[in-house]
Chain A
Amino acid sequence: MTQTLAAQINSVLAALILLTAFGLLMQRRIYGLLHLFAWQGVFLSISTAVVGYTAGLHHLYISAILTLALKVFALPYILYVLIHKLNIKKDVEEMVNIPTTMLMGIALVIFSYHLTAPVRELSTLVTKSTLAVALATVMLGLLMMITRKKAVTQIIGFLALENGLFFAATSATYGMPLVVELGVALDILIAAFIFGIFFFQIRTTFDSLELKEMEKLKEED
């Protein structure tokens, strides 16, 4: 595989990751969100493998497999089980103003390109045009967490944000050192168990997973 071909494949994958990020932003059904999240993981994993192949770095294969196992199978599965147990699979989130959210998302993408411009010029890698996409994915994850009002969707936004970080690690550099990647993966896994416990705790204390119930802790004037 030549360098240019690899670069092109990677750009396509970057575009797909960005597309799924936008999809997550506007998807209202909870299963739809899970599927999109899993697809984002698939693209992320392939992209990592492609970078690993072109650069001849074998440790990237490990992180590709790690991504596949964690982001495509483990996390969506955990979420699936939780959704099933909590019996919220039919929930549809009412969202105001999807077009405005989309426009804000586009503004964030442009902002990310602007912010990473100096870094991109320095980069000599195959993957250099993808750093902006990675940052945009992080920003879109943040936007999703702000606009959503349900605990489960906020968590999916958070995990999409982490996907953006993983993508940044492979796109800006050829992946972080293995010890760091393993540690990060472990942290995410622990976080997954914690939010699982949380969902039940929120449900038993508030009788729903709507975060608007949680507005007690405010500064009194």
Chain B
Amino acid sequence: MLILILLGINLVAAAVLAATGDKRYAPEVNILGSAATFVASIFLAVQVYYEGQIIAGREFFFVDEFNVYLAVLTTFVSMTTAIFSRRYMRHEQERGRVGKVAMRFYHAMFQVFIFAMLLALLTNNAGVLWISMELATLATVLLVSLYGTPSSVEAAWKYFILCGVGIALALFGTVLLYFAAEKVLGEGSAALQWTNLASVSNRLEPTVLSLAFVFFMVGYGTKVGLVPLHNWLPDAHAEGPTPISAVLSGLLLNIALYALVRCKALVDGATGNGKAGQIMMAFGITSLLFSAFSLLRQKDIKRMFSYSSIEHMGIATFAFGLGGAVATFGGLLHMLVHSLTKSSIFFTVGHASQMHGTQEMSKIRGLIRGNPLVGWGLMLGVAAIAGMPPFGLFTSEFLILTATIKSAPYLAPLFLLGLAVAFAALLRKVMPMVFGPAPESQGSLHPAHTPVIVHMVIVLILGLYLPVFLSQWLHAAVRLLR
């Protein structure tokens, strides 16, 4: 029941906003809808915390420790993004970049997007997971081209085609999974349910599942943005409106990784040889290294941070591939803190580029003088994303590094190299933007303070101390994945 309410709120909000999205109060409705889902997800989380796994709606939905923490994260970030979007989009409207129809569309699709991600997380069915991943893509494709500029249309087309093809391959993987599962579980939806599959994973045919994993890896890997399947990601993140960049980067990539990790757990159960993990490690470390060096070459601020997302998704994928309690724990924590930090960075980046009317880094200067909150927000956000203590990413990266030294020592130098290069590149690019005198052209604006502050405080707290409920959750999730 609670799950239906959770999913229903978004749909109702989407319908309301489709009609009233251009009104003056529409951003508030958007915030209200997102806040209501956040509250509902908290209730769900409390229920899972006390009662353990929930299976509901004729086994159509299931909630365990792994997906509930992602669901809470999704609703939380979508709520703060909605708050950020209120001022940001109002400013864009004043600059005349979006019209009335576009605003209606934007608000409605924002809610549909959140709905699709929550459905992907909470469904028990591997097929429905695929469908909602595709729906999440479709909902955001036209948001990327919202401004209608040539480069945004090109970015959206690339996003549509590459992710469409990628995810089509994941469907082939799902067909193969069903083919293997149907022999054990019989026909019908039961054979695609995670709860059933997990319990019989050692009886599934290993050859079929290995083949299926290749398709899952390529398919969902495209959506995670792993190198060399990442081509769509920097374009889509850079050309769309910034609130969309924040949720794409902070949330959608996580959901795709969630799908991949679920598949990996099944495949490992069937083959028992850890090949799937090795493939994920290879993709992860390649993404980390490639994007770290790409960071150095960026000129557009949003493009740079989307490469940083590829880097961090690479780290998390690597951690899940490595397996074992420490690495998996690190990976789960990394997904959480990266999502919070990266969306907060995108909030400040959005304000910074609005102040200067450009996304070119060479023209953005003196942010701290111009607007201390934006300047310090960006500086601290970058310090956090680069893995400096005492922020949460330091903890998760340290855990992953420890696990790497223990179980795959030959990869530790590469891992460190990637982190070091990314660190240097980010600081080199961001320092001049933040410090120094403000240029004449810099405009003033009234930024949305709350989301940035809240996100950064949480990331800081998670770096210093992990609350008991969270560590219990993550430990339970680790047990599920082993």
Contacts and interface: CB of A to CB of B under 8 A. Distances in A.
A201 B168 contact: no
A206 interface: yes
B172 A205 contact: no
B135 to A, nearest CB: 6
A104 B161 CA distance: 21
Given A119-B176, A119-B207, A217-B235, A177 B192 contact: yes
A220 B235 contact: no
Interface in A165-188: 165, 168-169, 172-174, 176-177, 179-180, 183-184, 186-187
B: contact size bracket: 35 or more
A194 B138 contact: yes
Interface string B124-139: 0101101100110010
A190 interface: yes
A165 B125 CA distance: 18
Contacts of A154: 161
A134 B277 CA distance: 28
A115 B169 CA distance: 14
A115 B165 CA distance: 19
B165 A180 contact: no
B265 interface: no
Given A138-B172, A217-B158, A221-B297, A205 B128 contact: no
Nearest to B207: A118
A117 to B, nearest CB: 9
Given A135-B172, A205-B150, A206-B153, A183 B160 contact: no
Contacts of A151: 157
B179 A119 contact: yes
Contacts, number: 136
A118 B208 CA distance: 7
A151 B169 CA distance: 21
B187 A217 contact: no
Contact of A194 (B160, B171, B239, B299): B160
Given A165-B172, A194-B138, A183 B127 contact: yes
Given A118-B207, A119-B211, A173-B182, A205 B148 contact: yes
A138 B171 CA distance: 11
A158 B161 contact: yes
Interface residues of A, number: 48
Contact of A169 (B125, B151, B156, B175): B175
B145 interface: yes
Contact of B127 (A179, A198, A205, A216): A179
Nearest to B238: A217
Given A190-B135, A216-B151, A179 B189 contact: yes
A165 B135 CA distance: 17
B175 A176 contact: yes
Interface of A: 57, 115-116, 118-119, 122-123, 135, 138, 142, 145, 151, 154, 158, 161-162, 165, 168-169, 172-174, 176-177, 179-180, 183-184, 186-187, 190-191, 194-195, 197-198, 201-202, 204-206, 211, 214, 216-217, 219-221
A221 B293 CA distance: 13
B158 A205 contact: no
Given A180-B127, A217-B154, A172 B176 contact: yes
Nearest to A135: B172
Interface in B171-195: 171-172, 174-176, 178-179, 182, 187-189, 191-192
11 contacts: A119-B176, A162-B168, A165-B171, A165-B175, A173-B182, A177-B191, A183-B128, A194-B142, A197-B142, A201-B153, A221-B297
Contacts of B187: 57, 173-174, 177
B141 interface: yes
Given A173-B175, A180-B131, A220-B299, A214 B142 contact: no
Interface in B24-63: none
A168 B171 CA distance: 10
Contacts of A57: 187
B155 interface: yes
B362 interface: no
B441 interface: no
B164 interface: yes
Contact of B157 (A173, A187, A202): A202
A219 to B, nearest CB: 7
A125 to B, nearest CB: 9
B188 A177 contact: yes
Contact of A220 (B171, B205, B297): B297
Top 3 A-B pairs, shortest CB-CB distance: A180-B127, A183-B131, A214-B154
